[in-house]
């Protein structure tokens, strides 16, 4: 028996191998397959056209999130989006797949509902036709996005073919400073090693700062693993994980739960496990982060200054900075704080959970959105929306001047006309600031919920720690 120390990733990977295909490639069993409106119905139709059925409908779940309107009352879903929703309803019903439909608890962004329903379990392998499926790694699962052809393969066989990645461990050590969140940690890491720094790796996040982090923060951290270039991000399950899962609809209960926890405790990387790359970061050195450019790696502390391309020797990097500054309408060497914003978006699979809304509400409570600024809160799921309303958070936001909307992806990917108009500047809690991500010509700055809320009040990018009553 092989008694070599193993990583968390290795333990999950090896337990799911159906067949070793050689060349570091394996056929893996899939525990959970989550479909959404942008691609789910098409995959089911492709399966039918090939004369195939769904291998195990009980392991597949679906929900609309990408193409639906999040306007109050769902007014304005675009024609193509409605067609995709109608097809998803019809095809999941025909295949016997559980659909969490609009207005139902369970509907929401795929990467928000998986954990909150208890579908995302430690040690499981989860796939979805969305690159941010790495989010589920925050539960101690192996989650990754797959393409349209792979969607059909999983539906037909309940397996997926994958090439085994190398392993990286990032240790975040120490205690977070006030105003610093999981979003800041992962943006800092991306800024440090770049959007290609995780390419070819499964990244495990560890260290004292991770152990002290609630599940929602872990999910945020893993969500941006793909922006690091990694397909998979993982955090070992622990008591925080087990407590979070208790009572979730699809999580184990009773004696099964006790047996499951006993097995989950064995998933953590062995003390002497070797990683192909190791990185250590002291979190006390991290301040709230805000992106200034058109890539998540173009990020600085909120009290920093925009880079000056003239000070950069590498011509490729210098050119990238010049392109970003031109698109974003920023001046080289200028402070980022104080830059006026037109839009604020709080939501997405990165930061649309209940704790994210609580953090933003704590900033805006008793304050008012700056004149002329448009600010939205889009809960990540119907459950989040209902729970937030039960706490009165919806009133906190609306009384401050925010628009309180339905659950969905919304302005994160500029669907249903939910866009930032050309030339306008947005501060967003989402995960991508690419050119056009929030709409043609939109200028996007990524930040945490508290930082986005502070910008809404100030009317400009601002350090949340500078607000009255906020302790540094």
Residue 432 confidence (pLDDT): 97
Q: CATH classification of 289-466 is 3.30.499.10, yes or no?
A: yes
Q: Which fold has domain 10-277?
A: Aconitase; domain 3 (3.30.499)
Q: For residues 350 and 220, what is the distance between their CA atoms, to the nearest angstrom? A: 5
Show Cβ contacts of residue 456 under 8 Å, excluding neighbours closer than 6 positions: 344, 364, 369, 370, 373, 375, 400, 401, 402, 427
**Mean pLDDT to the nearest integer, 430-459:** 98
Break the chain into its structural domains and give their ranges: 10-277, 289-466
| Residue 471 binned pLDDT confidence (cut-offs 50, 70, 90) | low
| Mean of all residue pLDDT scores within the chain | 97
> Under the phi-then-psi rule, with left for phi > 0, alpha for psi from -120 to 50, and beta for the rest, what region is 49?
alpha
> Under the phi-then-psi rule, with left for phi > 0, alpha for psi from -120 to 50, and beta for the rest, what region is 329?
left
| Residue 416 binned pLDDT confidence (cut-offs 50, 70, 90) | confident
The position carrying tokens 């393969």 is: 153
The position carrying tokens 């600085």 is: 300
Q: Do 103 and 89 meet the contact criterion of CB atoms below 8 Å apart? A: no
- Output the six-digit token pair for 186: 């992962």
Percent of the chain with pLDDT over 90: 96
Indicate whether 194 pLDDT > 50: yes
- Output the six-digit token pair for 286: 């991290």
Percent of the chain with pLDDT over 70: 99
Indicate whether 282 pLDDT > 80: yes
Residue 191 confidence (pLDDT): 98
The per-residue pLDDT for range 99-121, each reduced to its tens digit, is 999 999 999 999 999 999 999 99
Indicate whether 37 pLDDT > 80: yes
pTM: 0.97
**Mean pLDDT to the nearest integer, 208-227:** 98
Indicate whether 308 pLDDT > 70: yes
The per-residue pLDDT for range 315-347, each reduced to its tens digit, is 999 999 999 999 999 999 999 999 999 999 999
Nearest one of 257, 203, 261, 265 to 229, comparing CA atoms: 203
Residue 332 confidence (pLDDT): 97
Nearest one of 408, 410, 350, 407 to 374, comparing CA atoms: 410
């Amino acid at each position: 028996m092989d008694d070599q120390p193993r990583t968390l990733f290795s333990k999950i990977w090896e337990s799911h191998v159906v067949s070793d295909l050689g060349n570091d490639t394996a056929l893996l069993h899939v525990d959970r397959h989550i479909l959404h409106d942008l691609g789910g119905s098409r995959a089911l139709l492709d399966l039918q056209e090939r004369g195939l059925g769904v291998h195990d409908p009980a392991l597949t779940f679906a929900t609309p999130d990408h193409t639906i309107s999040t306007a109050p009352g769902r007014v304005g879903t675009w024609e193509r989006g409605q067609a995709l929703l109608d097809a998803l309803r019809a095809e999941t019903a025909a295949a016997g797949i559980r659909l969490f439909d609009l207005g139902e608890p369970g509907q929401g962004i795929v990467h928000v509902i998986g954990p909150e329903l208890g579908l995302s379990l430690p040690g499981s392998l989860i796939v979805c036709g969305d690159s941010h499926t790495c989010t589920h790694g925050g539960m101690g699962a192996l989650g990754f996005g797959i393409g349209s052809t792979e969607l059909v393969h999983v539906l037909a066989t309940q397996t997926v073919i994958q090439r085994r990645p190398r392993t990286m461990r990032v240790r975040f050590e120490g205690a977070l400073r006030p105003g610093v969140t999981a979003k800041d940690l992962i943006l800092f890491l991306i800024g440090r090693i770049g959007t290609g720094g995780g390419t070819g790796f499964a990244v495990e996040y560890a260290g004292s700062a991770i152990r002290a982090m609630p599940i929602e923060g872990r999910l945020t951290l893993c969500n941006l693993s793909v922006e690091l270039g990694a397909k998979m991000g993982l955090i070992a399950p622990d008591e925080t994980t087990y407590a979070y899962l208790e009572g979730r609809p699809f999580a184990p209960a009773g004696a099964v739960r006790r047996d499951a926890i006993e097995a989950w405790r064995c998933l953590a990387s062995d003390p002497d496990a070797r990683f192909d790359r190791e990185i250590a970061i002291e979190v006390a050195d991290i301040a709230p982060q805000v992106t200034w450019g058109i890539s998540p790696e173009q990020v600085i502390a909120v009290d920093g200054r925009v880079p000056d391309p003239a000070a950069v020797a590498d011509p490729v990097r210098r050119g990238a900075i010049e392109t970003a500054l031109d698109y974003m309408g920023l001046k080289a060497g200028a402070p980022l704080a104080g830059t006026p914003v037109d839009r604020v978006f709080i939501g997405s699979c990165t930061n649309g959970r209940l704790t994210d809304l609580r953090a933003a509400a704590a900033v805006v409570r008793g304050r008012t959105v700056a004149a002329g600024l448009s600010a939205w809160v889009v809960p990540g799921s119907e459950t989040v929306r209902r729970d937030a309303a039960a706490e009165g958070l919806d009133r906190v936001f609306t009384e401050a001047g925010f628009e309180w909307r339905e659950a969905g992806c919304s302005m994160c990917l500029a669907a249903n006309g939910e866009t930032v108009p050309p030339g306008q500047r947005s501060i967003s809690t989402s995960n991508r600031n690419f050119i056009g991500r929030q709409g043609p010509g939109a200028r996007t700055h990524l930040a945490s919920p508290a930082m986005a809320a502070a910008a809404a009040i100030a009317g400009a990018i601002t350090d949340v720690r500078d607000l009255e009553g906020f302790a540094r």
